[in-house]
Structure 1
Amino acid sequence: MPFLIRPVLRPGALARGPQPVLPAGDGLVLRPWRAEDAPAVHAAFQDPAMHQWHVRSCDSVGEAADWITQWQKGWEDERNAQWAVADAATDELLGRVGLRQILLGDGVAEVAYWTVARARGRGTAVRATTALSRWAFEEIGFHRLELMHSVANPASCRVAAKAGFSLEGTRRSALLHPDGWHDMHLHARVRGD
């Protein structure tokens, strides 16, 4: 049975070319992950704040290397698109930003990010999220990007707002964290916002 609408994005919208490096301004760059990033990813996940807001831990450099392999494969599969957020001058890892749960046909994806402790409070997540959103809308043609965070995480709420993601509502008891079920704020940007 044929669809009455055309897909917003067709297969190959991402994987037809190599994953790009995206400038994020003020000395930040979003770049594809490399195997040599594994020790820095492992170190980032030793921070107690990561344990508070993320549902995964990273117990070894080898586990971080496996994640990086999955992140790289996500680009090829067009399921996820993950970037390392790095200092443009030193290449120091400052965080991660990516598109998860990509639905090309609908032109929808979820934005996710984290930053290392020393990069917090400096606008790193805002600049990375803004740069990724601009690329997703203007270069690829996504229609809608969503962003969710625990309502108990006001810093992520500020990032979402500063990056232009409007608060659309609260998903009650939507994600199990180590300390129990959390209500989650749902933010979104639509192409043209």
Structure 2
Amino acid sequence: MRAKLSTPPAIPAGALAAGPQPILAAPGDLVLRAWEPADAPAFLSAYQDPHIQHWHTRQPASEDQVREWFAQYRQAWAQETGASWAVTRGGGEVLGRIAMGSLNLDDGVAGCAYWVLPAARGAGVASRALNALSVWALGEAGFHRLHLDHSTRNEASCRVAVKARFLLEGTKRSDAIHADGRHDMHLHARIRGG
């Protein structure tokens, strides 16, 4: 049995999973939608990119494994533990991925992560998608705080965070492992109304 909270939860259990994962729009004809089985080739190809490989230690090995991940994403939404969206051009062509994880509904806190395919980089895709996700999460969904971290050496990810109004809060020393070893990580956050 779940322990009784001394304060009400920021987001009541079941509030997110009561409906389907939302489709979110962002400027420039970007549409954030749930992953579909037909997206598996684009998702797998993303992890062939050296930059994505460098920053992501967990990588799918096949399209079948990608589809298993998609099933895990659907399950995470149903269990209110996470959500992952395909960042698309008009709902079709996959340009990237944006996700929320470590959802804490009691406190109204979640972590964010993103990547963009090489052909879509440099056009503000990630920052527009992150901003659209943040507006929904900090508004309609009821979260109070979103956070993300990235290697202090990943300057592109830092630019995305800052453009999406995630303030730099500090550096977590030797916090994560990447392809070339342990990295210090910048911690950024965006809060409701801030």
TM-score normalised per structure 1: 0.96
Paired residue for 1:145? Answer: 146
Unaligned runs of 5+ in 2: none
Matched position secondary structure for 1:189: strand
Paired residue for 2:99? Answer: 98
Give the counterpart letter for 1:34 in structure 2.
Answer: E
Paired residue for 1:32? Answer: 34
Q: 1:59 to 1:2 in 2, by over 3 A?
A: closer
Matched position secondary structure for 1:38: helix
C-alpha distance in structure 2 between counterparts of 1:101 and 1:94, whole Å: 24
Cα deviation for residue 36 of structure 1 reads 1.2
C-alpha distance in structure 1 between counterparts of 2:89 and 2:41, whole Å: 16
Give the counterpart letter for 1:57 in structure 2.
Answer: Q
Cα deviation for residue 4 of structure 1 reads 2.3
Matched position secondary structure for 1:182: strand
Give the counterpart letter for 1:73 in structure 2.
Answer: Q
Cα deviation for residue 67 of structure 1 reads 1.0
Cα deviation for residue 64 of structure 1 reads 1.0
1:46 touches 1:58 (CA, 8 Å); kept in 2? no
Cα deviation for residue 2 of structure 1 reads 4.3
% identity of equivalent residues? 51
C-alpha distance in structure 2 between counterparts of 1:21 and 1:59, whole Å: 28
Q: 1:68 to 1:2 in 2, by over 3 A?
A: closer
1:146 touches 1:189 (CA, 8 Å); kept in 2? yes
CA RMSD, 1 decimal: 1.1
C-alpha distance in structure 2 between counterparts of 1:92 and 1:140, whole Å: 26
Q: 1:41 to 1:4 in 2, by over 3 A?
A: same
Moved more, 59-68 or 147-156: 59-68
Measured against aligned partners, the alpha-carbon deviations of 1:143-182 in whole angstroms (never above 9, x if no partner) come to 0000100000000000000000000000000011121101
Flag as ranges the 4+ runs of structure 1 deviating above 3 A. Answer: none
Paired residue for 1:192? Answer: 193
Matched position secondary structure for 1:145: strand
1:144 touches 1:191 (CA, 8 Å); kept in 2? yes
Give the counterpart letter for 2:36 in structure 1.
Answer: R
C-alpha distance in structure 2 between counterparts of 1:160 and 1:73, whole Å: 27
